[in-house]
Amino acid sequence: MTDFLPQPRGVAGIVRRLAVTVIGIVVGLLFLAPLLWSLTSSLRPGSEVFRFVNPLQWRTFISENFTFDNYVRLADTPMGLAILNSLIVSVVTVVVGLVICALAAFGLSAIKFRGQGIVFSIVILSFLIPFDAIAIPLANLFRDANLQNTFVGLILPGLGNGLAIFLLRQFFLAVPYELVEAGRMDGLGWWGIFYRIYMPLARPAMIGAGLTLFLFQWHAFVWPLLIGSDSAHTLGSIALANFMGRFSVDYGLLFAGAIVLTVIPLIIILSLQRYFIQSVSTTGLK
């Protein structure tokens, strides 16, 4: 917790602190309300979703009789498969993407060679072009290559992530160069230096970069909409949006799907919060 402002002592300080706390709680609860309402609604029997909404009451946010029925039913809808697809796509992206990005970051920091500047410019340029902006022309290219409705097509754009490379490179640059020289003296090749020296040191940066790769895929919407149209390759976000398009919306299912899609990244973010904030502030201070 931070207290960057010197606080007045005594009664004035206590009152001020209480007032600030009250504002903090109100703001926090306002941001929480939509998610809490979704969670409660997902735990209600389908017919009761809108029963306690208006007028506003405590039952709007807290349910007396709750059931996991909606979550159980979710597994039998297209949403069940779609969430599984999202997990596959995100996990493969993190694993393969981390290898590709870490190798590149190493090549851009530990090895000094002519032309390094040019390669780095390609990395920077490619992350200045927002992915969603070029998703439509890329989808045309992928369709020409018959990559629509394949996992390869869904995963490929997430693998080379300019931001992840940038984050890892920043970290690698801080590794003392003497370690590289010592490694060379010990007869290690570049691969050995990468694998034996850099990788063990880079754990925090790898976790930050892994989160970046994961969230890129988990939060994607435009790309899976364009490239994964058949039911076997629909991702969670798209399946959820499809629910909404139906004639009669099953709100219990809708909320259950929304909560699952939010809780999975939430658990990951919360358990890795330290690294997430670290990587966030690295970008901010670049």
Partner 1 sequence: MSSSSNNLGPALTRRPQAGRSQTSAARARRIAAVAFLAPAVVMLIIVRLLPAGDALFSGLFHYSLVAGQESWVGLQNYVDLFTSGRFWNSVGITLLFSIIINPLQIAIALALAVLFTQRMHGSVLWRSLVILPVAAPGAVSTIIWGVIYRPDGLANAFLGALGIPPQPYVISTGQALMSIIILLSWGGVGYWMMFLIAGINDVPRELHEAASLDGASAWRRFWRITFPLIRRPLAFVLVADTISNFLVFAPVQVLTQGGPQGSTNLLMFDIYERAYKLGDLNTANAEVVILIAITLVIVAVQFRLLRSSE
Residue closer to partner 1, measured from CB, 72 or 119: 119
Kindly report the CA angle at 145 between 141 and 147, in degrees rounded to 5? 95
Distances (CA, A) of 130 to 42, 68, 162, 211: 34, 39, 10, 18
60 lies in the site for partner 1, by CB under 8 A: yes
Q: Does 285 bind partner 1 (CB under 8 A)?
A: yes
Cα 215 to Cα 172: distance, rounded to the nearest angstrom? 22
List the interface residues with partner 1, window 100-129 (CB under 8 A): 100-101, 103-104, 106-108, 111-116, 119, 122-123, 125-129
What type of residue sits at position 103?
Answer: L
Strand, coil or helix: what is 94?
Answer: helix
Interacting residue with partner 1 among 78, 179, 243, 250 (CB under 8 A): 243
Contacting range for partner 1; rule: CB under 8 A; set: 72-80, 87-95, 201-209, 233-241: 233-241
Q: How far is the CB of 130 from partner 1 (least distance, A)?
A: 6
User: Tokens standing for 264?
Assistant: 């999975």
67-96 binders of partner 1 (CB under 8 A) = none
Q: Which of 12, 141, 152, 173 binds partner 1 (CB under 8 A)?
A: 141
Q: Containing H/E element for 41? A: helix 10-42
Residue whose structure tokens are 């979550």: 71
- Is residue 135 within 8 A of residue 223, CB to CB? The reply is yes
x/- track of binding to partner 1 for residues 182-221 (CB under 8 A): --xx-x-xx---x-----------------------xxxx
Binding mask 34-53 for partner 1 (x = CB under 8 A): xx-xx-----------x--x
- 12, 15, 28, 72: which one contacts partner 1 (CB under 8 A)? 28
Beta carbon nearer to partner 1, 28 or 72: 28
We find the least distance from the C-beta atom of residue 126 to partner 1, in angstroms, to be 4
Give, in order, the Cα–Cα distances in Å from 42 to each of 28, 39, 71, 92, 232: 21, 5, 8, 29, 25
